[in-house]
Structure 1
Amino acid sequence: MVLLAILQRGEDANALEIRRELEESANRKVAKGAFYTTLNRLERKKYLSWTARTVGEGRSGLPQRHFKVTPQGVAELQKSRDALQNLWQGLDEVWEAR
């Protein structure tokens, strides 16, 4: 979901924007610790990359990390999407029966 949120926010999203996108899209709170752990794990797997940028005068001019999804991340998203589509095939009848 984090990779999808980055793509939704654009290729230049900072952590706060990504977390807000997740909370709005999933309609639930995202714990900071779990969120940053996930960002670090996705970076280790080379599914995302980031650049540090100093933005405006706020926060004493501290740099923010801006994230983008790597080609490996896009490939992994496609594999996940394909797997979900395979799992959903044939379930329309099940949903209609309920």
Structure 2
Amino acid sequence: MMDWDLVYYIEQMPPVHLGEFEQIVLLAVLRLGEKAYGVPIRAEIENRAARKVTVGALYATLDRLEAKGLVHSWFADATPQRGGRSKRYFKLLPAGVEALSGSKAVFDRMWEGLHV
């Protein structure tokens, strides 16, 4: 494959469709920035979306988003405050920003002209 073929292929890739909870998780990660790990992500969702989130549902979604190439995760050094466990941090990748923008654009178009 030549470079131009690769560019064409990337530009022709279909948009990533996000479920509601995936969007909420991505928005929480984006909002938290460098502080995005499990506990604050969960708190952000519970506070802003007013919905309970189980740890299992959150991490299953984060794993799925990472498999889709929308977020990247890494483990920080272990700390004594956490009993020697390390935190798993998350960062939104450019593809995640693009997926969120695409989802917002779809909803904006669907809401256009409607008044409820």
TM-score bracket relative to the smaller structure: 0.7 to 0.9
Question: For structure 1, which runs of at least 5 residues remain unmatched after alignment?
Answer: none
C-alpha contact (below 8 Å) 2:77/2:86 kept by paired residues: yes
Q: CA deviation at 1:36?
A: 1.1
Question: For structure 2, which runs of at least 5 residues remain unmatched after alignment?
Answer: 1-23
Instruction: Establish whether residue 16 from structure 1 lines up as the match of residue 39 from structure 2.
Output: yes
Judge which range, 56-65 or 44-53, deviates more.
56-65
Cα distance per residue 1:42-64 (max 9 Å; x no partner): 00001000111025311222111
Provide the identity percentage: 41
Instruction: Give every structure 1 segment of 4 or more consecutive aligned residues whose post-TM-superposition deviation is greater than 2 Å.
Output: none
What is the TM-score with the length of structure 1 in the denominator?
A: 0.88
Q: CA deviation at 1:68?
A: 0.5
Instruction: Establish whether residue 39 from structure 1 lines up as the match of residue 59 from structure 2.
Output: no
Could you say which residue in structure 1 is the equivalent of 2:95?
72
Equivalent of 1:48, from 71, 79, 86? 71
What is the TM-score with the length of structure 2 in the denominator?
A: 0.75
Higher strand residue share: 1
